[in-house]
Structure 1
């Protein structure tokens, strides 16, 4: 579970060229900007991640009113800053100071949730099925120790597409279509069902007659300003989940499954053996989209060729968001 606000250590402090009043700090794997002299190496801080919305009634956050109290990626004096660090003193005096302690609820911080476009709404059939994992990747900067634990693991790097996630499943004769958090009843005006019908996935899965879930990204007109300049909606698959075994298929078989399903996989950028160089990963996330070189790609997703588990993440899989994308589009 993502921690929007937590107690963390300052891991690095360094000057910013031509900046007299600010300096760069590192918290977890994140690079931030802070007032000069506010933190020393090894200090505790309250780190608040991007996409957090802070309460308006807390005097410590009043300077963010013009930003509508939302924490976003910014650039100051050429330094990208992702998240914000506050002194421990903003916490109630009774708070126990423990590295990693989540303080999201203590500070009444919420996650920014963009408004759902009307064409993505419909009649919900129920919550997301419990027999399938949700599509949600952790940003590696929040869990940098994962890199140390899995050094040398061969991985594939794919482009993270900017659309809306979809899960389509067949399970013991039942067929379903889901967004990130809900399963939807079949309706002609529901986008998730429209694109499922377009690819004839219900008939294909019924023909295969195996309990599996397809997970991918729907992209196209009306989604995220149609950054890929597509004339119609389509699905790019990034995972196939074996429901009976409760495990994802290995990457080697994904393209084979995509051919059976007659849908494309997300663009593959490169291969990568895990190392603990976060700057390298951020650099790798930058660049333009394979699907439309005129726009910045959202980022990258990294997964091992052979599925494996991590003690903190569960499934070993993580993302790195392109900071230039965040600066331009968020």
Structure 2
């Protein structure tokens, strides 16, 4: 499901900030945002731009957020919403009164005429407005865009495999109450690039949906099927792996770990999904040694069953069977034993990663594999400017 970047939220509380007369802290679900005093009352609706929203710099409404207004006649740079501290108070996102966004007010007015006030509020809280406001998600430059020789990816990410994505726990204020007695797998979230390695049998209906292979490809082709390697948004040709020293490490890492051969031996329509980490990935926040790149498995999609395999099975059976590394597993416990609130989960996300640096956070997966979410460390977000 695409991430909702711009939504209408209800302000649940307003908290004064010590030593500040003009600003206060607004609570919306599990988030806190700094707002101007007088903009809101508890119970009001506001338009919320989540962190990593990229606002169009050409929109004058956001000029007050811009670091500069462009140089030498160039258009203003787009504006990324990040986690910051103001007067030692955390602010995550941008919250503005609906009147700042007439596009949203127009929808609210129409819905109120159709459904009444209560019906409008119920409906508007489920909608998103990034498209109408020209907002997109900030995407850092990753290895998939640094391949040598301007080699193009094979195709878009396969439509028959879900992209890796987790909802943030702050957007799920009731999750602990609703899932308190359910058992979850808790894992460390690693900071790298999303990577998927799939195997499709020749007799699968998905085989005909695969993009044509370039000439002289070897690792992709197997007697009974085909292997593919993908970044978050693209399928990549195996020729990219031969140029790893110049920037593309997806195929090279998959081959070094023996993943294509292991999947071919299993001869099932499966997609391994995990994190590609290493010295050239995401500024090496994890702290890998020079030239070291590794794939860390966190889930397996069963194409025939159209579901994720149970996470414990992936961890204890499939990772050893395939000979691949798995992200660190903290344990399997009822969610209510892991934390008592969203705030507890966010605090729990703090900690150290594989090589002692601040970790990105944690991921919680229900043991049936059908439901999961993440908690990102605020310390990590502040440290890395996210």
TM-score by length of 2: 0.78
Write the distance in 1 (CA, Å) between the matches of 2:159 and 2:59. Answer: 37
TM-score by length of 1: 0.91
Correspondence for 2:138? 112
CA contact (8 A) 2:81 2:93 kept: yes
> CA-atom RMSD, angstroms?
1.9
CA contact (8 A) 1:119 1:191 kept: no
Correspondence for 1:292? 355
Write the distance in 2 (CA, Å) between the matches of 1:18 and 1:271. Answer: 44
**Which of these residues, 271, 279, 283, is aligned with residue 343 of structure 2?**
279
CA contact (8 A) 2:259 2:324 kept: no
CA contact (8 A) 1:169 1:211 kept: yes
Write the distance in 1 (CA, Å) between the matches of 2:45 and 2:27. Answer: 12
The equivalences for 1:1-330 within 5 A come to: 1-66=2-67, 69-92=79-102, 94-96=106-108, 98-117=124-143, 118-119=145-146, 122-172=151-201, 173-187=225-239, 188-189=242-243, 190-231=248-289, 232-255=292-315, 256-275=317-336, 277-289=341-353, 291-293=354-356, 295-308=357-370, 316-330=371-385
CA contact (8 A) 1:8 1:100 kept: no
How far residue 162 of structure 1 moved from its aligned partner, in angstroms, is: 0.6
How far residue 52 of structure 1 moved from its aligned partner, in angstroms, is: 0.9
Write the distance in 2 (CA, Å) between the matches of 1:120 and 1:141. Answer: 36
Write the distance in 1 (CA, Å) between the matches of 2:183 and 2:147. Answer: 37
Unaligned runs of 5+ in 2: 69-76, 110-123, 202-224
How far residue 132 of structure 1 moved from its aligned partner, in angstroms, is: 1.4
Write the distance in 1 (CA, Å) between the matches of 2:258 and 2:348. Answer: 35
How far residue 88 of structure 1 moved from its aligned partner, in angstroms, is: 0.9
How far residue 73 of structure 1 moved from its aligned partner, in angstroms, is: 0.3
How far residue 272 of structure 1 moved from its aligned partner, in angstroms, is: 4.5
Correspondence for 2:117? none
Matched position secondary structure for 2:106: coil
How far residue 28 of structure 1 moved from its aligned partner, in angstroms, is: 2.4
CA contact (8 A) 1:286 1:297 kept: yes
CA contact (8 A) 1:120 1:192 kept: no
Report which of the two has the higher share of helix.
2
CA contact (8 A) 2:185 2:329 kept: yes
How far residue 119 of structure 1 moved from its aligned partner, in angstroms, is: 4.0
Count of aligned positions: 321
Unaligned runs of 5+ in 1: 309-315
CA contact (8 A) 1:64 1:70 kept: no
How far residue 146 of structure 1 moved from its aligned partner, in angstroms, is: 4.0
The Cα offsets for residues 3-60 of structure 1, whole Å up to 9 and x where unpaired, read as: 1111111111112233333221111221111122321100111111111111223332
